[in-house]
Chains A and B, each alone.
Chain A
Amino acid sequence: MAEFLIKNGFVIDPTQKINGDIADIAIKDDKIVEKAGPGAKIIDAKGKVVMAGGVDVHAHVAGPKVNIGRTMRPEDKLFKSPHAQENYRMEMGFSIPSTFKTGYDYARMGYAFVMEAAMPPLHSPHVHEEIHDTPIIDEGALPVFANNWFVMEYLKNGEIENSAAYCAWLLSATKGYGIKLVNPGGTAAWAWGLNCLTIHDPVPYYDITPAEIITGLIKTNEYLGLPHSVHIHQNSLGVPGNYAVTLESLKLAEGVKARNKFNRDQVMHSTHIQFHSYGGDSWGNFESKAKDVMDYVNSHKNITVDLGCVTLDETTTMTADGPFEHHLNHLNHLKWANTDVELETAAGVVPYVYDKDIKVCGIQWAIGLELALYAKDPSRTFITTDHPNAGPFTRYPRVIKWLMSKNAREETLNTFKHCSKVVDATDIQSIDSEMSLYNIAEMTRSGPAKALGLSHMYGGLGSGLDANVAVFDLNINDMPDDPQKIEDAFLRASWFIKSGQIVVKDGEITNHGNKRTVWVNAKVKENPQVTRDIHDKFLKNYTVGIDNYSVRDYLAPNPYVINVDVEA
C-alpha cells in the first residue's frame, strides 16, 4: 500500500458540502486521511473534478438470471467483444457483459461499489462465484424475500419476531446484504399462472396481500436495524396506469421511522421508479405520471428512489418478476426464459429493443429523466438504469449528460419519429432545469451510500472513509459547450483509485484491484421455532438438504462483514 496526494482538483463532496473548491485529497493505505506524508505519490488533478468512488444502489450484474441472459443472447457479444488486450482479460458483451467487462467498465466510470439487486437465495452460491469473478469493484447482493413461503407464513400471522429471525438466518446463509422485495406476492402467484397487480390482490393459497407483505417486511427490517431499508420493486411494473399502485405502496411507509446505527434515514427504497410512474390505461393513451410520483417522494423524507432510466438501447430484461417477463414476451415475441425457484422466487429473461422511433419507448425515456428533474432532494434520488432492464450501466454517463444539459435532451428528442406525441404525453420539453455536478455527486455517491447504510465507507471524501477517489476531465468553472464531452468524461475517468490502489489511468485499466464482498450478519437471539421451521421445510419441501444450501466461505473469499447486534 502507498500514499497518494491528489492535488489541486475541483473537489465535489456533498457529504462535506464541498462544491468545486480547489483542494488536495490525501490517501494512506486504503483510507482517506487528513495529510499525506512527504513521500506520497502526487496525482495532478488541476483543472479536473475530483469525486468519491461511485455507488450503484441497484444493478443486475451477477447470478443465474444474468448468466441465462448471456447464454441465450450470443448476439449481445457480436462485434462488441474486442480481442484481448495486454495486461487485462478479454471483455465480452454489451447489455450482459462478462464478469471481467463488468468490473472494468464500472472502474472506468469511477465506481467503487455495486449492489446486485436480486439474489435468488437457493442460487446464492452462483451469485457469489460471479461476484468473486468480477474484478476491482466491491459488491453486495440483496436476497429476495417477498414471495418466500416462510416470510408469507410468518407475516400472515403477524409474527414479526419470527420473520426477523428467519430473515437474519437467510442473510447469513446467503451472505446477503439486505431485504429485497420483487413484485410482492405476484411472483408467488405466478407459480399458478397468476399475478398480483394491486397491493390488495390476495396471494393464492396464502391468504395474505402484497400490502401486508410490504408492511411486514418494513417492520422486520427496522426490528433488525439493518444498514439498508427494504428495497422494493413494486407491484404492477410496466403497466399503463400503475402510478396509482405505486403511490399506494409508498404510503405504506408513512409514519414509520428508521431504526438503525448506520446513519440511514429512509425506511423504504423504491427501485426503478420509472417503470412505476405510468399513466393512461393502455399503450394508446400511455403518459407520464412522473410529477405525481415525485411530488409524493419529495414530501416524504423516509423514502428513497432510484430512476431506472430508459437509455434507448437494445438490451436484455431480467427480473424475479416472472409474470412481467411473460407479459413482455407476448408484446415483443422474442426469446423468453422462465424459471421457478422452489419456495422462494421465480425469474424471467427477455431481450428488448427500446427503439427511439416507438412512441412508448420515447415516453419511457422522458419519464426516467423527468423523475430526476422533479426531485427536490437529489440525495434521495439515485441514477440507475435497472441494468440491464432499461439499459446497460455503461449508459450512466449518458443519463448524466441528459440531466445536465437541456440541449442534449432536445437533441435526442428531436431524433424521435413520434417526437410531438412524446412531448404531448410528458413534460420533458417544458422542463428547463439542468442538474449540477454537485447534484450528480449526490445521486451517484453520497446519496446511495447513505441509503445503503454505507456512508461510513463510501460516498464521500472525508478522512477515515475508504480511499475510493475518481478524477474526471471536467472543469467545473468552464464546462464544455458540447454536452457529449460530459458523457465522455464520466465514461472514462482520468484516474480512479480504489481502496488505495490506482486501478484506472486515462480510462484504461491498470490493476485488478482488491475487490470485496460486503454482507450483513444480523445476530438475533436463539429462536427455536424458526430453527425448527427451517429444518422442517428442508426435510419436506426443498429438493436440497440444508447442509448444501448455504454459501461456503471459499465462495466469498474476500468478505467484508457488517455485524448487526439485534436488541429485541
Chain B
Amino acid sequence: MATIKLKPYKTPELYLEGFNISPDVFVGKSPSEIASLEGREGKTRIELGDFFEVSGTTGATASDTNILIDGDCSRVKYIGNKMTDGSITVNGNADMYVGGWMKGGSIHVKGDVDSFCGIAMEGGDIQIDGNAQNYVGCAYRGDWRGMRGGTIHINGNAGNDIGTFMLGGTIIIEKNAFIHVSTHAEGGTVIIKGDVQGRVGGQMVKGDIYVFGNIQYMLPGFKEIGMIEHEIVGEKAMFKHFIGDLGERHPKSKGKEIFGNLYLRAS
C-alpha cells in the first residue's frame, strides 16, 4: 500500500471544505496535482496545497492508497467524503462530516470528531479514538434514508441524534451518549456501552439498540417483554428486552408484527 501524506501547515480562518480528500480522488495523481485539487473556504475556492504540504505517492487503485494526514484537522470538513476504498488516517482531530456518504474503505481519526460523522454511510469502517459530537451515523437533514451499512466505532462519548433513520450497519459508542438514539430507525444496530440520558428509539420501526449502562428516562412507547442473554461485541450479558416504539407503524412478517428491539443490560 502506498501512502500519500498531507501535512497541515496553515489553519484556515474559516472552515475548510475538504471534499476532495479521498483515495478515490487522489489515486493516480502526483503530489502537485493533489495540491491543486479544489476545496472551499467559505465561498472562496481554494486549493488543498494552500493548507497542506503534500508528499509521497498514491497506489495504482484507491484500495492501494492510504492518506495520512499528519496533524490537526479541527477546521477541516468532509474528510473521506463518498470514499469507496482505501484508507485515511488523521493524526489529530477532524471537523464535521468525516466519512460522510462513505461506501467502503476505512478511516481512523486518532483524536475527536465534530458532528455528522458517518452521515448516510453505506459501507466501510470508521474508527474514532476520541469523542464524537452529534449526529453520528444519521441521515442528511430531511432525508428518510440514513446509514445503510458499515461500522462506526467511537472510543469515547457521543452527543445526540445517533443513528437517526438508520437502515443498516453498526454504531458502537464505548462511553456515554446524550439523547435521541435510532430515532425513526428501520434497521441497523446501535450499541452504547455507557449511559444514555433518554429518548432512545423514538418512532423506531425496526432495528436493535443495546445499552450496557443506564437509560435515565425511558420512552413510554417501549414495553418490556422478558429477559434474554446475548453476546454482543465480545461481551456476554443478560438484557431486559423491550419492544417499540409502540406509537409507530410496524410492518408484518409472516403474520407477525416486527418491532424495534431495545436491550438494556440487567444490573
Contacts and interface: CB of A to CB of B under 8 A. Distances in A.
A334 B43 contact: no
B141 A75 contact: yes
A74 B43 contact: no
B205 to A, nearest CB: 9
A72, A83, A334, A335 — most chain B CB neighbours (10 Å): A83
Contacts of A335: 142, 144
A329 to B, nearest CB: 12
A74 B140 contact: yes
A83 B141 contact: no
Interface string B124-156: 000000000000000011111000000000000
B143 A75 contact: yes
A540 interface: no
A75 B40 contact: no
A525 interface: no
A75 B140 contact: yes
Contacts of B143: 75, 78
B217 to A, nearest CB: 27
Interface in B19-53: 40, 43, 45
Contacts of A333: 249
B144 A334 contact: yes
A544 interface: no
Nearest to B251: A333
A74 B142 contact: yes
A166 B190 CA distance: 61
A84 interface: yes
A333 B249 CA distance: 9
Contacts of A46: none
B120 to A, nearest CB: 9
A331 to B, nearest CB: 12
Interface string A70-87: 001111101000011000
A313 to B, nearest CB: 15
A73 B145 CA distance: 13
A73 B45 CA distance: 27
Contacts of A84: 43
A85 to B, nearest CB: 11
Interface in A264-313: none
B45 A78 contact: no
Contacts of B144: 334-335
B249 A83 contact: no
Nearest to B186: A333
A335 B142 CA distance: 9
Contacts of A78: 140, 143
Interface of A: 72-76, 78, 83-84, 333-335
The 3 closest A-B pairs by CB, nearest first: A75-B143, A74-B142, A75-B142
17 contacts: A72-B142, A73-B142, A74-B141, A74-B142, A75-B140, A75-B141, A75-B142, A75-B143, A76-B142, A78-B140, A78-B143, A83-B40, A83-B43, A83-B45, A84-B43, A333-B249, A335-B142
